[in-house]
Amino acid sequence: MTEPKRILVAMSGGVDSSVAAALLHEAGYDLIGVTLHLWDAEGAQQVGRCCAPEDRDDARRTCEHLGVPHYVLDQRDAFRKHVVDPFVTDYLAGRTPIPCVSCNRTVKLTHLADLAERFGASHIATGHYARLDRSFDGRLRLLRGFDADKDQSYFLFGLPQSTLERVVFPLGELTKPEVRKAGRRLGVPNADKPDSQELCFVPDGRVGDFVGRQGRESKPGRILDSDGTVLGHHQGVANFTRGQRRGLGLGGGGARYVLRIVPRTDDVVVGQEKDLYDRELVAKDAHWVADRPAEPFEGEIRIRYRHRGAVGDITPTRDGFEVRFAEPQRAITPGQAAVVYRGDEVIGGGFIA
Amino acid sequence: MIYLDHHAAAPTSELVRQAMADASAIAWANPSSTHRAGQASRQLLEKARALVGQSIGAAPADVVLTGGGTEACNLGVRGLAKGRRKIITTAVEHPAVAESVRHLGRDGREVLAMPVLAGRPPAPGELAPLLSDDALVALHWVNHETGTLFPVHDYAQLCRAHGARLFVDATQALGKVPIDVASLEADAVAFAAQKIGGPAGAGACWVRRGIELDTVLAGGSQERGRRPGTLDTLSMVGFGAAASSIGRRLDQQTTIAALRDRLESGLLALGAVPNAVEPRTTTVCNVSFPGWEGAILVAALDLEGVCVSTGAACSSGLQQPSVVIRAMYPDEQWRAGSAVRISLGIETTDQDIELATLAFQRVLSRSQGQKLNQI
């Protein structure tokens, strides 16, 4: 990173981005607050819904408090095209997508980097819990945030070096309690606002219903056991993810879990928990933060955001990589990101096939 | 700060501010009250009404004061629609008119929106075949985004000849073109104080004598039963004061035209594509910049201290692609997303234009050839 002059701060209206702005302001930077309007929030009563007018108001109030300009920009078309539509398509194909990765790569950071240029700003800042560090060869390294519970480096593996060069993560070395404390110290108006949960555009977490509201109903199908015996029927594959136990509607017998979703037939195959464990995964569409590693190597792999990470051997392939874990992992789920770490450093990531 | 968004709101003059300051100790009283406090407020209100009437060639009794331009348009459009089965409008109206018409359409009336392709207003000959004695024509005199002048006098004669009613939204015409409602032959005409340097909460709807107007709001019998609710005397004083200097605004039009033309040729040299055609008011330049989103350009210019807009302002602060430009250029969708409106007023100086052009140049040079949303 060259020394930032004017910084564009991406402000969702949440605590993290507000405090990020306040900290940069305290450090004396010239700031521009930008709130992207990505989606029209559904359900006026829903707490934590996405891009709600009250979130825009919170972002504006923070900027007023800091005395920095604030703009709301409409990115609904891009968000639908790059994030929501692929999300729905993935669910209907039986995968469990992780839209935050493509959102960060397209609508958010890459777009904001372009915006920053147009605004005459040298850098962009976000409230992500992640860190950047310059390595000896001049490349930037993407590192975990200090707060192990909040670390968001998992979502950022897709960013190209050209974007990383322009990014600042002011919260990378702070914990969430420290962020709230800083917010209160700096008089940030929404310092005590609750954290947002789930996916920003599906605040109630009911993905099946959301997919239906997008006018792309998932088709009903059969629920089978591993032998192909029909155990029941379901209302659409978008309601299921690998490892899921609830909502199958199968009476009697022991606990059963979703083992896999068969895309073409829309069958959901269920079985026992022990059948959810695998030692291997294949990841596609990989992005390496620096260069694509030439040789197989050992690293730590996170297979979902809330996964603690497990040791395994990583073998890069032409457009992805293969992993062999030291210990079998529960519910390796197609569509989720597999992100490879060495210590605190994100080496790269891809999408589980 | 260089303010070039006069079509959104024109700055208040010293005269207006002084008149409102002087009135503030009296204007709080309810002008409908019988007592002397109410009478004092009523006196200010009526003086304001007379000044507004004078500025548009109307008798005070025919001026219905309203809480702003949108309300005046609603009153005019929906008030005149009684017994009318067909509503004729244009595709580029301000939402105050467009939404009022849409509302009438929901009640089962036929709605016809005349196209304004390539920015050209419908010729009177295009309107004539649509007219009938059960029609209401509702359209603007001057387009808020492009300044395009619509031949409302010609429309009015045709409407009269066919027994159609005519509502004219003169919100953007006031102070930019001479207005004499007596000779216009419309049935109702709407005005807003904000566009001539008065407060936003004041508007007026002139109604032809003898026309029975349906009320839009339910309430008391103020404004001869045509507009219920206590009017804000203070805002009306501001409106009256602003209206009293309409002549000065009109006299400045040649000067403003020269400034606008200089700005426009500067912007065209920077790659802008013009969206408006003549005849138009002298006050506005509407252009599109290929490769730029209008909303982003507006924000980038604001950071340089230059205030412009993409078109009609929206309460959320979210600037949308222009509906007007989209309707004018349906085959060139990029224009609407890349349009900016730069509007001048009597306060605009040579230096403003020079500095604004330089600011455009600085901002536009930052992202040569890049396209947004192609990620």
> CATH number for the domain including A119?
3.40.50.620
Instruction: Give domain status of residue A194, yes or no.
Output: no
Percent share of chain B, pLDDT over 70: 96
pLDDT band at A49 (very low <50, low <70, confident <90, very high): low
pTM for this predicted structure? 0.90
Residues B188 and B213 sit within 8 Å (Cβ to Cβ): yes
Complex ipTM > 0.90: no
pLDDT in tens, B68-96: 999 999 999 999 999 999 999 999 999 99
Which residue among A32, A72, A118 places its CB closest to the CB of B367? A118
CA gap A300, A342 in Å, rounded? 6
- Partners of B370 on chain A (C-beta within 8 Å) are 114, 117
Classify domain B14-245 by CATH number.
3.40.640.10
Give yes or no: residues A11 and A128 share one domain: yes
Q: Where are the domains of chain B?
A: 2-9+249-364, 14-245
Residue with tokens 């729905």: A88
Q: Do A115 and B303 touch (CB under 8 A)?
A: no
Q: Which of B302, B318, B366 sits opposite A69 (nearest CB)?
A: B302
pLDDT confidence tier of residue B318, bands split at 50, 70 and 90: low
- The tens digit of pLDDT for each residue in B132-165 reads 999 999 999 999 999 999 999 999 999 999 999 9
CB A14 within 8 A of CB A49: no
Q: Using CA atoms, how far apart are residues B47 and B64, in angstroms rounded to an integer?
A: 13
**Digit-coded pLDDT (tens) for B218-235:** 999 999 999 999 999 999
pLDDT at B375 (0 to 100): 34
The CA distance from B259 to B262, in Å, is 5
A169 and A266 both lie in a single domain: no
Active-site residue flag, B159: no
Contacts of A223 (CB under 8 A, 6+ apart): A230, A231, A232, A233, A234, A248, A250, A267, A268, A269, A270
**Residue range(s) defining the domain that contains residue A267:** 218-271
The verdict on a CB contact (< 8 Å) between B318 and A37 is yes
* Chain B contact present for A148, CB below 8 A: no
| pLDDT at residue A1 greater than cutoff 70 | no
CA nearest to B305 within chain A:
A69
Measured distance CA(A310)–CA(B268) in Å, rounded: 60
**Could you tell me which CATH number the domain at B2-9+249-364 has?**
3.90.1150.10
**pLDDT (mean) for B112-130:** 97
Residue B373, pLDDT > 50, answer: no
Residue of A56, A73, A120 lying closest to B303 (CB–CB) = A120
Predicted confidence at residue B368, as pLDDT, reads 55
Query: How far is the alpha carbon of B23 from chain A, nearest alpha carbon, in Å?
Result: 32
Task: Give the H or E element holding residue B80.
Answer: helix B69-80
CATH of the domain at A324: 2.40.30.10
CA distances from B96 to A16, B75, B232 (A): 39, 10, 21
The pLDDT assigned to B313 comes to 60
Distance of residue A295 Cα from the nearest chain B Cα, in angstroms: 31
**A191 located within any domain:** no
Query: Would you say A267 and A224 are in contact if contact means Cβ atoms under 8 Å apart?
Result: yes
